[in-house]
Amino acid sequence: MTIGIDIKSVLEEIGLNYSIIRDSGDISEYTMVKANSQVTKPFIREFFLEGYISYDTQAEVGDILKFETEGAYFLLMHKTPELLENEVYRYAVVYYRCNQVVDVLRPLDREPDDRYRVSITWTHVARQTRCCITTPLYGSELADEPIGEVKREVYEMYAPTSLGIRPQDRISISPTRYYKVETVKPFRYAGVDVVELHEDTRGLTVTTTTSTTTTTTTTA
């Protein structure tokens, strides 16, 4: 389609250059972005970006994109085809800014020792992967907890489905800052999982065996 080719040429001339981060090698493309009408909302202002990309893009929902001009990373959340005469001439897209670089670790159970202590060995599922972590957008389940209940930190993480994150995994932001995956919501967005994170009180050491004075049960 001629209009699709024309739009691609305009993007290459005046658009923003980004790279699709792939293990097989980064792919360079171009996009145009625009301000959202709800920009006064804090989440929209901080994380949300709309735009469009060419009809023959190789970007897929769940890809991590690096905007070369500012060096910022974004998660491709939505990709909607725009049609003319039954042919795609461009894609409307939504990006979420990646504000954290994390490791994803999974606990492996081990048999109790002679003092009935259980050790946890952590294995890496993903290293130094980029994602968006924020407080829940529409309130927290803590609001319904009984009075006097100790409140816990609760966050939501938006991450590619391809990572295969599971409940009980650990999301490590730094050696001293990490969270437990409580639930994974795979159906809110295609290609992107919404992961609920809670305080993690399990072992401090993330890559070696650690022991506690009480029996700990984990689910792989």
pTM comes to 0.80
CATH number for the domain harbouring residue 163: 2.40.10.270
Give the pairing type, strands 154-160 and 170-174. Answer: unpaired
Q: Write down the pLDDT at residue 151.
A: 54
- Among candidate residues 161, 136, 201, the one with its CA nearest the CA of residue 76: 161
Asked if residue 209 belongs to a domain, the reply is no
Asked if residue 46 belongs to a domain, the reply is yes
Strand partners, 76: 95
Half-sphere exposure of 149 (CA within 13 A, CB side): 10
pLDDT tens digits along 196-215 = 999 998 875 444 333 333 33
- Give the end of a domain, one of 97, 131, 152: 97
Question: Are 162 and 142 in the same domain?
Answer: yes
pLDDT tens digits along 67-108 = 998 899 999 999 999 999 889 999 999 999 999 999 999 988
Question: Are 54 and 131 in the same domain?
Answer: no
The mean predicted confidence, pLDDT, of the chain is: 83
Taking 50 as the pLDDT cut, the residues of the chain under it are: 139-144, 149, 205-220
Q: Write down the pLDDT at residue 78.
A: 94
Question: Are 194 and 111 in the same domain?
Answer: yes
What is the count of structural domains for the chain?
2
Q: 193 is written with which tokens?
A: 């999982």
Q: At 95, which amino acid appears?
A: Y
